[in-house]
A and B are shown apart, each in its own frame.
Chain A
Amino acid sequence: MKYIDPHIHMVSRTTDDYQRMAQAGCIAVTEPAFWAGFDRSSAQGFYDYFRQLTEYEPKRAAQFGIQHFTWLCINPKEADDPGFAREVVSMIPDFLNSKGELCGGNVLGIGEIGLNKNTKNELIILEEQIALAETFNQLVLVHTPHLEDKLKGTRLIMDALSASTIDPGRILIDHVEEHTVSEVLDRGFWAGMTLYPDTKVTPQRAADIIEMYGDERIWMNSAGDWGCSDPLAVPKARLEMRRRGHAVTTVDKVTFDNPQQFLSQSPNFSLS
């Protein structure tokens, strides 16, 4: 078996995790730019982070036969200061250059952009990063807010995206749950389910959602990071689906074929 973990923050994980993921069948990861657990004090901190994502992490992953791809942005938790956020966003186009001048060509798009506390400031920067994706014809990976803020935030985000010219089929809206997945799919977007032990969805609930809403335009990811999370969550969800009697083809579709289909819309994505 082989699978793709299309959302995981490997900068927060140990090299042992790469090894364990490879042993479990992971052949590729995609890593969105995110909040480090604290606010960076300067835009230069993001420049270094973007270099880590585009230069260092692919080499660390390659030691275990895992291909590493990434997404760049300023995350919503640090986007509440528009002046600061614009300074960071202005650096991103240099990294989108697939000729390798500032990166190894592993950037798939803009992400994970979105909202955190559903503020006007966050929304302004979200709209500006959507415009950046539009200008550079990039795929978009969307972070939806946590817990009580998710429902309202997901709707605000979808409205902002629908006001752009980006095809919904080039946008993945992540961290969907039972109360948001239907609207996301009905509006033509892709949906991502994040497998977390306490928040978001468990492997069991992810399997439930696939049973209720189908296996089209949907994937699952571990979103492993510095918090309570599990870099082996995707193979555990595969096991959960098999345990229930789902066909191998269905399991492969949501953990390999679907991510490959969506990500292949980027010229920088190809599996070796």
Chain B
Amino acid sequence: MNRQTNPQTKQQIVDTYFMEHRAKLVDIAAYLDRVDRGHGDDAADFRDVAFRRAVEILLDGQPQRAGRILNLLSDHSTKLPQSADGMKGALGAVSLTDGGAA
């Protein structure tokens, strides 16, 4: 199979997926509204900063949006801690000071 092969036309893709992604789009909008309505400190969480940077990628007109968003949300540091003691989980984004790209 050749790469870059999608059996569907652009119109078929929109017909197939628009409703599903319309719902996801509204979910994102509602999430951002929810954050706006939240109480407490206005200091931006590093995940929120990264999220908003990622949203900008959606409409920048360049290809590979999914890959570029995943890159944006990745740890780009070269540090290797000795132990994972106390940090088993993942947070989904990295602050700029800890090796994040956002």
Q: Which of A25-33, A96-104, A114-122 contacts B (4 or more CB under 8 A)?
A: A114-122
Known contacts A148-B73, A177-B70, A244 near B16 by CB under 8 Å = yes
The reply on A187 being an interface residue by CB < 8 A is no
Chain B residues contacting A204 (CB-CB under 8 Å) are 17
B91 near A147 with CB under 8 A, answer: yes
Q: In the complex, which residues 38-87 of chain B have their Cβ closer than 8 Å to any Cβ of chain A? A: 64, 66-68, 70-71, 73-78, 80-85, 87
Report whether A148 and B3 are in contact in the complex, using a CB–CB cutoff of 8 Å: no
Residues on the A chain within 8 Å of B17, using CB: 204
Q: Are B4 and A147 in contact (CB under 8 A)?
A: no
Query: Cβ of B7 and Cβ of A245 under 8 Å apart?
Result: yes
Which of B1, B8, B77 is close to A152, meaning CB atoms less than 8 Å apart? B77
A2 CB-CB contact with B under 8 Å: no
Residue among A77, A145, A147 with the most chain B CB within 10 A? Answer: A147
- Residue numbers in B under 8 Å from A244 (CB-CB): 6-8, 16
Question: Whole-angstrom distance between the alpha carbons of A9 and B4 in the complex?
Answer: 33
Nearest CB of A to B74, in Å: 4
Number of interface residues of B (CB under 8 A): 37
Query: Which listed residue (B3, B81, B85, B92) contacts A213, Cβ 8 A?
Result: B3
Contact assessment for A151 and B75 in the assembled complex, using a CB-CB cutoff below 8 Å: yes
* Residue contact B75 to A148, C-beta cutoff 8 Å: yes
In the complex, the answer to whether B88 meets A121 with C-beta atoms within 8 Å is no
Which residue, of A119, A213, A245, A250, has the highest number of chain B Cβ atoms within 10 A?
A119
Across the interface, A119 reaches (CB within 8 A) one of B66, B82, B94, namely B82
B97 close to A (CB within 8 Å): no
The reply to whether A151 and B74 form a contact with Cβ atoms under 8 Å apart is yes
The distance in angstroms between the C-alpha atoms of A243 and B6, with both chains bound, is 12
Check A252 for interface membership: any CB of B closer than 8 A.
no
When A178-B70, A179-B74 are in contact, do A147 and B92 touch as well, CB less than 8 Å?
yes
- CB of A123 within 8 Å of the partner chain: yes
Q: Contact partner of A178 among B66, B78, B94, CB < 8 A? A: B66
Can you list 16 A-B pairs with a CB-CB distance of less than 8 A? Answer: A117-B84, A117-B87, A118-B75, A118-B81, A122-B84, A123-B80, A147-B93, A148-B92, A149-B74, A149-B75, A149-B90, A150-B74, A179-B67, A211-B4, A214-B1, A214-B3
